[in-house]
Structure 1
Amino acid sequence: MAIIPTPEDVVAGQKGYNPATLKFYDLTVYGFTCPVLWKVPRRELLRLYNRNISSEHLDIGVGSGFLLSKCTMPSADQRITLLDMNPHCLTHVKRRLSQYKVSTVQGNVLEPFPLPKRSHGSAALNLMLHCVPGDFAHKGVAFDHAAACVRPGGKVFGSTVLSQGVPVTKAARAAMNRLNASKDFNNRHDSLQDLRRELSARFSDFTLTVHGCTALFEATVEE
């Protein structure tokens, strides 16, 4: 049975991101939690972007925009669309990427995006699915909404922290328990098997790579 979130669940995790906390996002997430707790090196996340980002890219659940600011853009005329529920994140990342052509959209990954179909060459859901309420039977719809905005042959890629079916250290488990209790995370039921099931239901060409308790996924959008 799918775990269905309430509307309150959907917005609960957004309250923590504001101009003050975003100043420490890079250091906290990419300097500590990813390499130390989730055991995914920053370089692997950067390589994920470098392999898949296109000249017309959609970034979903944008955080601080760290990887977008560090990756190698494929075009001198780079276009980036940022989609997030949190206006503070959108403002922060747009300012950070001011050298590119950036547009922002407020949206919920559990609902169809207010964007034209097949308007982008790539879409990323990086380090955000573990924040989305519900289990993968429910939150997997985010893949549909992302893929709808990507042209055939383009990529849907990203990463997520899992709690089942992957190595989870004691420190990582304790951190996950705290984050789930505060509703900053919603990944108590997220497993590698369920993630693979949701990807295989939508994409015939995809890869999954595990680093610690973090799964990196890369999928090709078909006709």
Structure 2
Amino acid sequence: MSIDHGHHLGTVDQDVLDGQSAYNKRALTFYDLLVYRGSSPLFWRCSPRNFLRMYDTCVGAEHVEIGVGTGYLLDHCRFPVSDPRITLVDLNPATLEFTAKRLAKFRTNQVRANALEPLPLPKASHDSVALSFLLHCVPGSIKEKGVALAHAAEVVRPGGVVFGSTILSSGVPVTRAGRSLMAKLNAKGVFHNQQDSLDDLRDQLTQHFVSHDLVVRGCVGLFRARTAR
């Protein structure tokens, strides 16, 4: 396992740092329960099966995970090979360490980097990149943070796949309970998705990829996009 401590980070916007600071070691212990058993099915109306199905059909032998969470999906999905190589990319050293430990059965490489900046990875070097539940935590509108999709596209091979999910606030059905929790999380700076619409997500996918699929489950947009061959 190799670790890149991110000397290329430069200056990172404080809002970006605040968005990931909630994920400390203690919080990560409860994260899977809160997200996959709690908020996702109950508030965002999206079953965790949707995420796993997407990983099972999209993840490649050489994979990059941007915004690693706890590694739950990587731990439970089916890779196309028995010994995938996984590069974990996150701003938060606690999430990187937690996830790398969980995925000890795989070859992992930790990279500390900001998804809004070009990734410190070789161009066209991976089969797949995932951004799961990441964009709604990143400050700005989808038009601004869609640049993370462009950076992801740069590191996949021709015809490679970039996939993921994000919680949207407009153009999708949001329950009253979901709207209330969303407002609280935005107020705390954990979420930044007040301006995130389905149309803007679709526009960004169209702009950065030759083809894409975008489906809505509850208020979650799940996307799978391909780069040019």
Q: Please name the residue that 1:3 is paired with.
A: none
**SS of corresponding position for 1:123:** strand
2:55 — aligned with what?
A: 49
1:117 aligns to what SS in structure 2?
coil
Tell me what 1:67 maps to.
73
Equivalent AA in structure 2 for residue 190 of structure 1: D
2:187 to 155, 160, 181: 181
C-alpha distance in structure 2 between counterparts of 1:109 and 1:101, whole Å: 22
Q: 1:31 aligns with which of 34, 37, 48?
A: 37
1:174-210 CA-to-partner distances (Å, cap 9, x unmatched) read 0000000011000000000000011111112100000
Do residues 128 (structure 1) and 134 (structure 2) align?
yes
**Alignment correspondent of 1:203:** 209
Q: How does 1:31-180 map to 2 (within 5 A)?
A: 31-180=37-186
- Equivalent residues, number: 218
CA drift at 1:45: 0.5
| CA RMSD of superposed structures (Å) | 0.9
Q: Which moved more, 1:103-112 or 1:8-17?
A: 8-17
**Which residue pairs with 1:194 in the alignment?**
200
Question: Is 1:8 matched up with 2:27?
Answer: no
Identical-pair percentage: 50
**Structure 2: 5+ residue runs without aligned partners?**
1-11
Partners of 1:96 and 1:8 in 2: CA distance: 29
Amino acid at match of 2:172: V
Contact kept, 8 Å, 2:213 with 2:225, in 1: the verdict is yes
Q: Over residues 3-32 of structure 1, what are the superposed CA-to-partner deviations in whole Å (9 max), with x where a residue is unaligned? A: xxx922111122211111100000001010
| Aligned AA (2:76) | K
Q: Normalized against structure 2, the TM-score is what?
A: 0.94
Equivalent-residue separation in structure 2 for 1:76 and 1:212 (angstroms): 33
Q: What is the TM-score normalised by the length of structure 1?
A: 0.96
Partners of 1:135 and 1:92 in 2: how far apart?
29
Query: d(CA) in 2 for partners of 1:24 and 1:131?
Result: 18
Q: Per the alignment, in what secondary structure is the counterpart of residue 76 of structure 1?
A: coil
Instruction: Measure, in 2, the Cα distance between the counterparts of 1:30 and 1:83.
Output: 21
Partner Cα distance (2:20, 2:77) in 1: 25
* 3-state DSSP of counterpart to 2:120: coil
Return the offset for 1:148: 0.5
The structure 1 segments of at least 4 consecutive aligned residues displaced by more than 2 Å after TM superposition are none
Alpha-carbon distance between aligned partners in 2 of 1:131 and 1:84, rounded to the nearest angstrom: 12
